[in-house]
A and B are shown apart, each in its own frame.
Chain A
Amino acid sequence: MRPFQTFSYSIDMRLHIADYLIIVVYFLFVIGVGFIIKKKIKTSNDFLTSGRNIPLWITSLAFISANLGAQEVLGMVASGAKYGIMTVHFYWVGAIFAMVFLGVFMMPFYYGSRARSVPEFLKLRFDEKTRGLNAISFAVMTVFSSGISLYALAKLLEVILHWDFDVSIWMAAGIVMIYTFLGGLTSAVYNEVLQFFLIVLGLSPLVVVALHDAGGWANIKEVLQPELTHAWKYMGSADTNPMGINFMSLIFGLGFVMSFGYWCTDFLVVQRAMMAKNMNAAQRTPIIAAIPKMFMPLIVVLPGVIAIALLQPALASKGFTMPSDGKGGIDYTMALPSLISHYYPTGVLGVGITALIASFMSGMAGNVTAFNSVFTFDIYQSYFVKHKSDRHYLIVGKVVTVAGILLSIVTAYIAKSFNNINDFLQLVFSFVNGPLFATFLLGMFWKRTTSNGAFFGLLAGTIAAAVTHGLTLAEAKGGWIYPLYEIQSGMGQAFIVASFSWIVNFVTTIVVSLFTKPKPDSELVGLVYSLTEKPSYHQDKWYLRVVPLGLILLAVTIILNIIFF
C-alpha cells in the first residue's frame, strides 16, 4: 500500500462525449456482471468464498488485480518518478519471490486445511485468540483501506476533472455495492479480471507514446542521473541512492519481511488463490500470476521514470509539466494523471480515466469482499451467532457487504476532514502486517510453535514496529518517542520498521513457545510442513507442476535484475 499526498492544485482535463460514453459502458458492464452472477449465488459459501469453483486463469488474474488498486498504480508510478528504476525492487525482489514461495510452500496448508480464510487457518493451527486478533485487525484494516481508496478516487476526480467530491464518492461506492451485493466474491473477482485488462491495455498506449516522445530508454538513461536508471549499482551505501537504503536493508526489509508478509499472509490476495478448483490450481495461482506481475513495471514504474526524464532540461521542448507539491517540490503522486493529461487525446483519454477508476474500484471491491468473508466467518459466526442455517449467514454476508461499503464512505469523509489520517492509518497497517509473516513461517514450518508463542509474538512484533517508528525519523515523519536515528526516505524507514518488528516477533514466538506446551502432532497434520503429506505432481507435464514453473520464474527474475543492474 502506498500513502497518498494531499492534492492541492489542478490538472485541467476536459472530457468529451466519447470519453463519458466509455466510462458509462464500463459501469454498465461491471454492474451487468453482478446481475449475471446473482442467479448462481445460492449459499453463503457461493457468496463469500465462491465455492472453490473458479478457473485457474481467473484466479491468477484476480490475484494480481486485487493488488492493482489505485494506491498501487498511482503510488508505483509516483515511486518510479521519485526513486527511479529502483522501484522495480517491489516486483523483482519482493513480489515474485514471495508469490513463488506462497505457491510452492504455503498454499498446500491454506488450501489443504479447508480453512475459509487466513484467520480461520490461524485458529486451526493455533487457537481462537490468535484468530480473533488477526480477524479484527484485518477487518478494520480492509474497511479503512477501502475508505481511503474511495477518498483518493473522489479527490483525484475532483482535482483533474472537477467532478463533485460527494457525487464521485456515492457513485463509485454505489456501483461497487451493486455488483458485490449481487454476486459477492465471484462478481468482484470477475470484475477484477475485466479491470486488469482495462488497466493494462488502457495504460499501455501511454507508455508507448511517452517512451517514444522521450527518445526511448537509451535517451532516458542519457538525461537522467545514473542512480535513477540502475536497480542495484548504487545500493552499496544508503547515501548513494534516492531510496536511502543499502542492499541489505532492501533484501531483508522489502524482499523478505514486507513482501512475504503481504503476499503470503494478506487474506485479500490469498483469498483469490483459495477459490481455485483444486490443490494444483491453488498452488499454481500465485505462480501463474507472477508472470504478468513480473512485467507490470512496464505499466506502473516505467511511466514514472519517463515523467521525470521529460522534466529534465534536455527534454524541456516536449512541454511536459507536473504540478508542485505546494512546498517547492514536485508532486510525484500526480505523475500518472499528468502523463495521461499530456498525451491522451479525447477517446483514449476516456480509456485512461476509466482505467484509473477501474483500479480504484478493483481495490475497493477486493477489500470489501475480504472484509465480509472475515467478518461473517471469523467474527460473527465465531463469536456472536453460531449454528444458524446457511441462509442466515448468506443474508449476514450481504448485510455486511452493504455495511462495509457504508463504513468505507464514512472513512472517506473522515479522511477528507483529517488529511493526516491517511498517513496514520497506513502506518498502523504496517505495524500490524509487518510482523505477521514470522507467525506463519514458524507456525507452518516449526511444529513446536505454540498458540501462546504466536499470540504474544504478534503482540510484541506490533509494539516493536510502533517503537521503531517512534525512534526513527524520515521526511519529518516518525521520531515521536525520540528522534534517535534519521533515515533518508520514508520508504527506507518502512523497511527498517518492518524488519525490527519481524525479528522481535520471530524471537518472542520462539522463546514463548519453548516455555509453553505445544499442540500434539495429531492436531497438526495438514497444518505443519513436517507432518503433512506433500502433493505430488510427478505424473503431470512440467508446466502443470509448481516447482519447475517457480524455478523458471525465479531464473527470469534474476536475469531481469541483471539486465537493469
Chain B
Amino acid sequence: MYKKLNNLGFVIGTFFIIISLILLIGGLLSDALDNTLDYYTGFSFLIFGFLMAFFNRKNDTPLRD
C-alpha cells in the first residue's frame, strides 16, 4: 500500500474516487445532494479515478526514484 502511495497516478485516482463517493453516497443519504448533476459528476469522477489509479500503467510512476 505504501508503494502505491508513492505513485502519483494512484494518488490522483484515489482523490477522485473519494470525491465521487462523497457525491454519490451523499446523494443517497441527503436530499441536499440528491441532484442529477451530482450523480453524473460523481460517476464521471469514479470512472476517471479508477482508470487513473488502477488501469493506466504508464502513469505508474514513483513520486521519486
Given contacts A18-B30, A29-B15, A190-B8, contact A348 B63 (CB under 8 A): no
Closest Cβ of chain A to B8, distance in Å, is 6
B38–A37 CB distance below 8 A: no
Contact flags (1/0) for B1-29 with A, using CB distance below 8 Å? 00001101001100110110011001100
Give the interface size class of chain A: 20 to 34
A48 within 8 A of B: no
Give the residues from 196 to 254 in chain A that come closer than 8 angstroms, CB to CB, to chain B: 197-198, 201, 205, 209
Closest Cβ of chain B to A44, distance in Å, is 15
A336 within 8 A of B: no
Residues of chain A contacted by B63 (CB below 8 angstroms): 33, 36-37, 40, 186, 190
B40–A36 CB distance below 8 A: no
B61–A347 CB distance below 8 A: no
B48–A205 CB distance below 8 A: no
| Complexed CA–CA distance, A209 and B42 (Å) | 15
Instruction: Please report whether the interface of chain A is mostly helix, strand, loop or mixed according to DSSP.
Output: helix
| Complexed CA–CA distance, A36 and B6 (Å) | 7
Instruction: Please report whether the interface of chain B is mostly helix, strand, loop or mixed according to DSSP.
Output: helix
Q: Total interface residues on B, using CB and 8 Å?
A: 31
Chain A CB within 10 A, most for which of B6, B23, B42, B63: B63
Given contacts A36-B63, A186-B63, A347-B23, contact A194 B45 (CB under 8 A): no
A344–B37 CB distance below 8 A: yes
Give the residues from 50 to 65 in chain B that come closer than 8 angstroms, CB to CB, to chain A: 58-59, 61, 63-65
Residue of A at shortest CB range from B11? Answer: A33
Query: A197 is contacted by which of B16, B18, B33 (Cβ under 8 Å)?
Result: B16
Residues of chain B contacted by A53 (CB below 8 angstroms): 64-65
Residues of chain B contacted by A55 (CB below 8 angstroms): 61
B12–A193 CB distance below 8 A: yes
A residues with a Cβ closer than 8 A to B are 16, 18, 21-22, 25-26, 29, 32-33, 36-37, 40, 46, 53, 55, 57-58, 186, 190, 193-194, 197-198, 201, 205, 209, 343-348, 350-351
